Structures are given as C-alpha cells and as structure tokens.
C-alpha cells in the first residue's frame, strides 16, 4: 500500500491559452513537510487549488489520500485544512464568529477550545470584527482556520505572509508540531529560510513545471563553497583548472572560485603562489534555488 498522501500525474492546467501548470508529477509522503517553492505566478497556488478541486485539471490527474481530487473531492476536503494564498474573509464577522461558522460548516464539533488555544497562541483578539484587522491579523485568522480542524493534511499557501517575525516563528512551530503528530503538510512559499527550517523535502516549480524535488538535506549536501583567494599577484588562469572548480572572478590580486570538489588541490595550488588570505562562504539554499531560475533550460536536478 502506498504511503503517499498526495500524488499527481502529468497534472496540467490551462486557463484558456494561459499557462497554469504543465505536467506536474509530484508525490508527498505521509507525515512529511513538503515545501513547494517558486516565485509568484510559477503555479504553486494553481497546484494547490487542483488538489482541493477548486478547479479541474486540463489533463492529468491528482489524488489525495488515494482519493481522486475531482470524483471524491468532498471526502478528501474533509481531511484537509486549507489556508488560501489570497485570503478573503467575511469582514463583518468577528473572528470568533468566523471560527464558529467555519467549524459549523465543516460539520465539526469539539474543536471549540482548540481554535481559542490557537488564537491565543498567535495573539489574535477574536472579539474584534475582521474588517478592523490588519493584514497580519487576517492572516492569523486564516492560519487558525487551517489548523483548528486538526486535519490529516494541511495545505498552506504562503502561511507566514504578512506576519511579523515572532508570529512567523510560532506558525513554523505549529507546522513542526503538526508533523510530530503524524500529519502531512504541503507548504508553499517563496521564503527559503522558512522552507529550510521546517521542510523535509522541497519541490521547485518554474513557469508551471516542476523542475526538481529533493530532500532539503540532499540539497545542502550538494551545496558549494565559494572562495576568495588574495595574492601578491594573481596566478595564471590555469592554476586552478581542476574538476569541480570554476573561476568566477579575478582581479590583479584576487581570484574568486566556486569549489564543488578537489578542495585539497585548490589549497595546495594556492599555497604555491604565496596566498595572503582566504575567505570562504557556503552557498545558501536561496542561491541554489536561484540557480534553477537562472538556467535557461529546465534542469531535472541539482
């Protein structure tokens, strides 16, 4: 029996002639936090909306908990807590009224104390009308609504958008706790630090196509070192001509290298040319992510 909570096969959505997503093949396993990365308009929200049957795919298929997203949408939505990216709420309601309504409409009872607990945790005043809320407080309402049903799968579209850093941290803690409870989280974002902080795996979507899926730890295992070497006089271009080493920049006295392998050879060569100083820094997940977007043709993996 498959352990996949989400599975998509050649999932494609077109809005008329406009591209939504193209041939997205994706799996999210039970109990994992999957980070769905991509800039605005890449297709993150479209993918999530197909999973919730907000609209049908143009071709391909998607299933959640083994249930077809179109044919069995009602059943699967009862097991999903959803935070939309473009959150629109009933502004004339108090936050508490909204949570009661949402709980009532989902046909759930017994989460009363839980939404209060979540609201307290996010420092949300539920006695105020939603129209009086700032963007951040409205986002808190959406976060509470997504978490309050203790659903098996959380689909969160940029959950920390508009939140202050302290609350962002709390939301990420809530994600970790949900994972610890054995729940699955499908988490879209373009904030890499938070993806790095909570996700087990990431998928990178570009222009509607899923260009890579990898474990976060594997991405880091592949990360590169960038190294600046300062000399009295920079050596010739062929000095660091080793496999896995790329010269990025040079001046009269310095050379900048990208070193993926053969670090001892680089150091040995540098020592032969009276190196005065060496500066190194690791390439972040953000830079790896940006590397995907700088490539002209879609890459399969890093």
Partner 1 sequence: MFRLLMQELKFRGNAIIGWGLGLCFFPLVYISIYPSVADEMAGLADLEIYQAMGVSLGNFSDWVGSILLIFLPLVAAIYAIINGTGTLAGEEEDGRLEMIVTLPLPRWKIVAAKALALSIASFFIILVVAVVSLIVLQGMEGQFEAGFGGMELLSAVLFTWPLVFATGMIAMFLATFCSSRRFASIISAAILVVGYFGSNLSASTAALEPFEPFFLFTYLDASGQAVIDGQATGDVLVLLGTGLVAFALAVFFFQRRKLTVGAWPWQRAKVEA
Q: By the criterion CB under 8 A, which residues form the site for partner 1? A: 14-20, 41, 49, 52-56, 73-75, 77-78, 80, 82, 84, 86-90, 101-102, 104-107, 145, 207-208
Name which of 14 and 114 has its Cβ closer to partner 1.
14
Name which of 86 and 300 has its Cβ closer to partner 1.
86
Distance between CA atoms of 223 and 237, rounded to whole angstroms? 24
Strand 153-157 and strand 80-83: pairing? Answer: parallel
- 252: exposed, middle or buried (C-beta count within 10 Å: 0-12, 13-18, 19+)? exposed
Provide the token pair at 122: 């996010």
Distance of closest approach, residue 208 Cβ to partner 1, in angstroms:
7
Name which of 102 and 240 has its Cβ closer to partner 1.
102
How many Å separate Cα 284 from the centre of its chain? Answer: 15
Name which of 56 and 298 has its Cβ closer to partner 1.
56
Distance between CA atoms of 148 and 166, rounded to whole angstroms? 20
Distance of closest approach, residue 234 Cβ to partner 1, in angstroms:
44
Check: CB of residue 285 under 8 Å from CB of residue 216.
Answer: yes
Name which of 205 and 229 has its Cβ closer to partner 1.
205
Check: CB of residue 87 under 8 Å from CB of residue 130.
Answer: no
- What are the phi and psi torsion angles at 171 (to 5°)? -65, -40
Name which of 50 and 122 has its Cβ closer to partner 1.
50
Which of 53, 55, 75 has its CA nearest to residue 66?
Answer: 75
Distance of closest approach, residue 206 Cβ to partner 1, in angstroms:
11
Distance of closest approach, residue 261 Cβ to partner 1, in angstroms:
37
Cβ contacts of residue 165 below 8 Å, gap of 6+? none
Distance of closest approach, residue 175 Cβ to partner 1, in angstroms:
19
Distance of closest approach, residue 108 Cβ to partner 1, in angstroms:
10
Provide the token pair at 37: 């990365």
- 13: exposed, middle or buried (C-beta count within 10 Å: 0-12, 13-18, 19+)? buried
Distance of closest approach, residue 13 Cβ to partner 1, in angstroms:
8
Name which of 118 and 229 has its Cβ closer to partner 1.
118
């Amino acid at each position: 029996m498959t352990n996949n909570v989400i599975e998509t096969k050649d999932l494609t959505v077109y809005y008329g002639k406009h591209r939504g997503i193209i041939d997205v093949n994706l799996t999210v396993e039970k109990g994992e936090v999957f980070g769905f990365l991509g800039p605005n308009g890449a297709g993150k929200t479209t993918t999530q909306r197909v999973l919730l049957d907000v609209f049908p795919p143009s071709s391909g298929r998607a299933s959640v908990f083994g249930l077809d997203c179109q044919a069995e949408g009602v059943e699967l939505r009862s097991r999903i807590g959803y935070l939309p990216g473009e959150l629109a709420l009933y502004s004339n309601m108090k936050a508490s009224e909204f949570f009661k309504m949402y709980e009532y409409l989902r046909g759930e009872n017994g989460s009363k104390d839980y939404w209060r607990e979540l609201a307290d945790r996010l420092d949300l005043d539920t006695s105020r009308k939603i129209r009086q809320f700032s963007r951040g407080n409205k986002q808190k309402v959406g976060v509470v609504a997504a978490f309050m049903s203790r659903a098996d799968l959380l689909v969160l579209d940029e959950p920390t958008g508009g939140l202050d850093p302290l609350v962002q941290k709390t939301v990420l803690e809530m994600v970790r706790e949900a994972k610890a409870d054995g729940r699955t989280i499908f988490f879209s974002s373009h904030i890499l630090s938070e993806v790095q902080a909570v996700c087990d795996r990431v998928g990178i979507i570009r222009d509607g196509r899923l260009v890579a899926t990898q474990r976060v730890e594997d991405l880091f295992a592949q990360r590169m070192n960038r190294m600046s070497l300062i000399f009295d006089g920079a050596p010739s271009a062929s000095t660091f001509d080793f496999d896995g080493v790329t010269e990025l920049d040079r001046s009269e006295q310095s050379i900048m290298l990208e070193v993926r392998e053969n670090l001892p050879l680089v150091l040995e060569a540098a020592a032969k040319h009276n190196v005065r100083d060496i500066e190194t820094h690791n390439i972040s997940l953000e830079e790896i992510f940006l590397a995907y977007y700088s490539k002209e043709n879609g890459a399969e993996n890093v």
